[in-house]
C-alpha cells in the first residue's frame, strides 16, 4: 500500500474506546506500506484521547498501528503522528517485520500529557527490525516486551522519551516473561528520563519473574538525559514490598558499551542507577561509559551487582 498524503483517524473518542487498534494487520503474510515521496502521513488524531484519559484513566485507547500474527511486513518512509496510545505494537508470533525511515511525533497541545505513547512495543515476535527512525513522545521510545526475540534497532533518535527499555517484565503472578537476543546500536537520546534500561517487577506473591538473555545496547549519545542506564528491579511496587518479595529475575549477557554525552541535573552527579534483582542474577557489564554529569565526576549507583560489572560502584541504587 502506497501512501502519498494523510490518513487521519476521526477524533470521536466514543468510537475508538476499547478497540485494539486504528490500523490492524492480523494474519498477514507479505505486505509493503510505504511512501516514495516522504509525504505519507498516518495521523492518529490523538489529542482528544489524551484529554479524555487525563480525566478518566480507565478510558481504553487504541494502538495506532498494530501487527499481530503476521510475517514479511515492511513499513517504509512514513510519518506517524499523534497516536492515541502506543504508536506501533508487534506481537502474536509475528516475524520478519521491518521498519525503515520512520518518524513518530506525539506532543500534546494542552496541559494533558500524551501518556503511554510508546514508539514501538515489540512483544511475542522474532526478527523485528527498526532502522533510521526519529521519535518524539512521552513514554518508551522502544520497549522490548515479553516474548521479544531477535529484535534489532539501529540509528534511532529519541526525544523526550523514557528511553529504550527491556520490559516491563514479570508483572503477572506465576508467569515467566522472557526477552532474548535483542540488539540496539546507534541511538541519540535527547531530554529522556533514561537512555536505556531494564524494568523488572519484584517477586511473588503478587508478581512472577523474568529471564533477560543476550541483550546489547551500544553506541549511544546522550544529550540532557536523566540516567545513562537504569536497572529497576522494584518496578511498580514500593520498597517495603520489594524488601520482603525481591525480584527473582535472571539477567544474563546484558552488555552496555560506548555511551557518551551528558546527563541532566535531575540526579546529578549520578549517571546510572543499577538496582539488580536481589534474589535473581545480574549478568550485566558496562564498558567505555564516558557520560558526564553537568558538574563533578560521574557516579554509578549500584545494588546487588557483580564485582565484574565494569564501572566503579557506589551504594544507593533503588527503584
The torsion of the CA quartet 141, 143, 148, 151, rounded to 10 degrees, works out to: 20
Whether the CA torsion 63, 7, 157, 25 is positive or negative: it is positive
**0.85 exceeded by the pTM?**
yes
CA 7 to chain centre: 26
| Domains of the chain: residue spans and CATH | 140-314 (2.160.20.10)
* Nearest alpha carbon to residue 189 among 256, 257, 141, 138: 141
Query: Mind spelling out the 3-state secondary structure of the chain?
Result: CECCEEEECCCCHHHHCCCCEEEEEECCEEEEEECCCCCEEEECCCHHHHHHHHHCCCCCCCEEEEEECCEEEEEEEEEEECCCCCCEEEECCEEEEEEEEEEEECCCCCCCCCCCCCCEEECCEEEEEEEEEEEECCCCCEEECCCEECCEEEEEEEECCCCEEEEEECCCCCCEEEEEEEEEEEEEEECCCEEEEEEECCCCCCCCEEEEEEEEEEEEEEEEECEEEEEECCCCCCHHHHHHCCCCCEEEEEEEEEEEEEECCCCCCEEEEEECCCCCEEEEEEEEECCECCCCCCEEEEECCCCCCCCCEECCCCC
Q: What is the pLDDT along the chain (319 residues), one digit of tens a residue?
A: 999 999 999 999 999 999 999 999 999 999 999 999 999 999 999 999 999 999 999 999 999 999 999 999 999 999 999 999 999 999 999 999 999 999 999 999 999 999 999 999 999 999 999 999 999 999 999 999 999 999 999 999 999 999 999 999 999 999 999 999 999 999 999 999 999 999 999 999 999 999 999 999 999 999 999 999 999 999 999 999 999 999 999 999 999 999 999 999 999 999 999 999 999 999 999 999 999 999 999 999 999 999 999 999 999 999 9
Q: Which residues are catalytic?
A: 162
* Nearest alpha carbon to residue 142 among 132, 153, 127: 153
Amino acid at each position: 500500500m502506497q501512501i502519498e498524503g494523510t490518513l487521519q483517524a476521526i477524533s470521536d473518542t466514543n468510537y475508538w474506546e476499547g478497540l485494539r487498534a486504528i490500523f490492524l494487520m492480523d494474519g498477514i503474510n507479505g505486505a509493503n506500506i510505504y511512501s516514495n515521496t516522504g509525504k505519507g502521513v498516518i495521523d492518529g488524531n490523538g489529542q482528544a484521547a489524551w484529554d479524555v484519559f487525563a480525566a478518566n484513566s480507565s478510558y481504553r485507547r487504541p494502538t495506532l498501528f498494530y501487527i499481530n500474527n503476521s510475517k514479511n511486513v515492511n513499513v517504509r518512509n512514513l510519518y506517524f503522528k499523534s497516536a492515541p496510545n502506543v504508536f506501533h505494537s508487534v506481537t502474536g508470533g509475528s516475524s520478519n517485520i521491518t521498519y525503515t525511515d520512520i518518524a513518530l511525533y506525539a506532543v500534546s497541545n494542552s496541559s494533558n500529557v500524551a501518556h503511554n505513547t510508546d514508539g514501538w512495543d515489540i512483544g511475542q515476535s522474532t526478527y523485528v527490525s527498526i532502522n533510521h527512525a526519529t521519535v518524539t513522545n512521552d513514554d518508551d521510545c522502544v520497549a522490548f516486551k515479553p516474548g521479544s526475540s531477535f529484535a534489532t534497532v539501529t540509528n534511532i533518535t529519541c526525544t523526550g522519551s523514557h528511553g529504550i527499555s527491556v520490559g516491563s517484565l514479570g508483572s503477572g503472578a506465576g508467569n515467566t516473561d522472557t526477552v532474548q537476543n535483542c540488539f540496539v546500536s546507534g541511538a541519540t537520546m535527547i531530554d529522556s528520563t533514561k537512555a536505556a534500561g531494564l524494568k523488572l517487577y519484584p517477586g511473588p506473591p503478587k508478581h512472577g519473574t523474568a529471564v533477560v538473555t543476550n541483550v546489547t545496547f551500544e553506541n549511544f549519545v546522550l544529550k540532557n538525559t536523566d540516567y545513562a542506564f537504569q536497572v529497576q528491579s522494584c518496578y511498580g511496587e514500593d520498597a517495603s514490598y520489594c524488601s520482603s518479595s525481591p525480584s527473582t529475575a535472571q539477567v544474563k549477557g546484558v552488555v552496555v558499551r560506548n555511551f557518551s554525552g551528558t546527563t541532566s541535573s535531575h540526579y546529578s552527579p549520578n549517571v546510572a542507577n543499577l538496582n539488580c534483582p536481589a534474589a535473581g542474577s545480574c549478568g550485566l557489564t558496562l564498558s567505555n561509559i564516558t557520560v558526564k554529569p553537568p558538574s563533578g565526576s560521574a557516579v554509578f549507583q549500584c545494588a546487588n551487582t557483580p564485582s565484574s560489572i565494569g564501572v566503579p560502584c557506589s551504594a544507593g541504587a533503588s527503584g
